[in-house]
Amino acid sequence: MAEQIQKQNKNRINLLLATAAIAAIIAAVIFSGYFSELKPTSKAQPKEITIVDGNGEEVTIRKPVERIIVEYTDNAELISILNKKDKVVGVDFIIEKTEIQFPELSKKTSLGNMNQPDYEAILKLNPDLLLTFSPNIKEKKEKLPGVAVVFLGLYYPDLINPIESKFVRGVRNLGKILDAEKEAEEYIKWYLSLVDKISNKTKVLSENKKPKVFITNYPYVHLEATTFNSYTKRDTLSQMVIIGGGKNIVSDLPEFSQEGYKIQVNAEWLIAQNPDIIILHAVRHTFGGKTLEPPHGYDADNFAGLREGLEKFMKRPDLANVNAVKNKKVYVFTGTFRNDASGGIIGAAYMAKIFHPELFKDMNPEAIHQEYLTRFQKLNYDLNKHGIFVYPPIEANSTLMGIPDRYKGQTFIDANRKQK
């Protein structure tokens, strides 16, 4: 009898324990569901983001952004920096033409000249985002309902005050828009460190230690012209000269601080200023839809065309006594440095090496350029083998900077050479 009672008590205890365990499991499931509703989801993404664009205006973009149209090289390069080329569905004619620099993006649907857009063709691609080169975006916003039209402001690097620049803000903004903030910040850190590396040496120079520099266009129109275009302080080219340690000879003109980009001077004024160095800014593809000769930049390996134009410029009789011409200190710079996503820092590095070779004897601007291509553009492109970026090249430490090393030993400027 005692054994039977003991057995019944044991069964009751087991039943109670089993019931308690089941109740505990049910309670855990209920409460875990309750608390999971209260707990914020760390992976949740905002459905939209509002930024301040390069025009200083607020723009709201729906997220996620999956389909992008890209204008011009600066936006295309930034897309590469952020590893978001897979989201691009359309490009302008400039990207289509630059297959070597953009082997993947150049194969995307070309929308032609985006300075005169085909809005029907754009809308057929069903884009979420259009990255514009020009700040004039009013018409595009009106004609492209449902598309976020964004001018990032990459054209305003402000190398004098880069941290607060529209360029840095633009890089950071696109990183937020495309959920690529890590890549954006890595690039900004690299960029700002280079600005500091150069400007820390040049900002302490006295004015009499700075060469007098004049920047104008490569001589498509200046071979016989009596006037020259130069650039205001806000332009990337003028910014390069400033942190590169040069004295821009147009900086004393009232127009230098104006809102525009161009300053026009006559030949007599230029001769009177007698610059030590002249830089000719060359453009390969214009936003207006033109391709200009001769080739230079990434899609050129031969400098013959640039040399011919440079020598014609230097043979102008009225410029014969200008120091830059007499001393063969006239250089052609590819327009890539003004219009890409490097914010002018690569061009500034080349200029600093030309302006102050001793001060920057340990700096190789071509190595900086190569790092930009390899590390940030993920581009398989060897500057020792390809490209014409600065002509005549910088010659230092038994190497050429600006063109491939295979041209070592050649004469780059020959004032007596017969023209074709």
**Is the same domain home to 180 and 215?**
no
Q: Most confidently modeled of 177-191, 208-222, 247-261?
A: 177-191
Phi-psi region of 73 (alpha: psi -120 to 50; beta: other; left: phi over 0): alpha
The verdict on 257 and 401 lying in the same domain is: yes
Strand partners, 346: none
DSSP string, 91-143: E-HHHHH-TTT-TTGGGSEE---TTS--HHHHHHT--SEEE-SSS--HHHHHH
> Is it the case that residue 233 has pLDDT exceeding 70?
yes
Q: What letters, b where the CB count within 10 A reaches 16 and e where it falls short, cover 114-135?
A: bbebeeeebeebebbbbbbbeb
> 97-107, pLDDT tens digit by residue?
999 999 999 99
According to the model, what pLDDT value does residue 28 have? 46
- 237, 378: one domain: yes
| pLDDT per residue as tens digits for the range 60-87 | 999 999 999 999 999 999 999 999 999 9
Binned at pLDDT 50, 70 and 90, residue 258 comes out as: confident
Q: What is the pLDDT of residue 29?
A: 41
Residues of the chain with pLDDT > 70: what percent? 86
CATH code assigned at 277: 3.40.50.1980
72-81 vs 181-202: helix axis angle to the nearest 10?
Answer: 110
Residues 215 and 89 in one domain: no
Residue 326 lies in a domain: yes
Q: What is the pLDDT of residue 46?
A: 64
Q: What pLDDT band is residue 338 in, cutting at 50, 70 and 90?
A: very high
One domain for residues 277 and 357? yes
The answer to the question of residue 30 being in a domain is no
Torsion of CA 11, 16, 22, 27, to 10 degrees: 180
**Does residue 148 share a domain with residue 211?**
no
Last residue of a domain, one of 191, 214, 243: 191
* pTM of the full structure: 0.87
**pLDDT at site 44:** 56
Q: Are residues 283 and 171 located together in one domain of the fold? A: no
pLDDT score, position 196: 97
Q: What mean pLDDT do residues 201-221 have?
A: 90
Q: Mean pLDDT of all residues in the chain? A: 88
pLDDT at residue 420 greater than cutoff 50: no
Domain boundary among 191, 225, 250: 191
Tokens of 357: 């070779």
CA atoms within 13 A on the CB side of 132: 22
Is residue 413 situated within a structural domain? Answer: no
**What total number of domains does the chain contain?**
2
Query: Are residue 228 and residue 141 in the same domain, yes or no?
Result: no
**Cβ within 8 Å of residue 388, ≥6 positions away:** 295, 296, 297, 300, 301, 302, 303, 306, 334, 402, 403
pLDDT for position 291: 79
Indicate if 230 and 315 belong to the same structural domain.
yes
pLDDT at 42 over 60: no
Residue 14, domain member (yes or no): no
Of the candidates 42, 45, 83, the residue with the CA atom closest to the CA atom of residue 64 = 45
At residue 290, the pLDDT reads 79
- Are residues 104 and 72 both part of a single domain? yes
Quick check: bond before 294 cis, omega within 30? yes
Q: Which domain holds residue 373?
A: 205-407
> Would 38 be classed as within a structural domain?
no
Q: Are residues 254 and 400 in the same domain?
A: yes
pLDDT at residue 226 tops 90 = no
DSSP 384: T
Q: Is residue 420 part of a domain?
A: no
Local structure of 150: helix, strand or coil: strand
pLDDT exceeds 50 at position 381: yes
Tell me the pLDDT tens digit for each residue of 136-178: 999 999 999 999 999 999 988 899 999 999 999 999 999 999 9
- Give dist(CA 185, CA 171) in Å, integer: 8
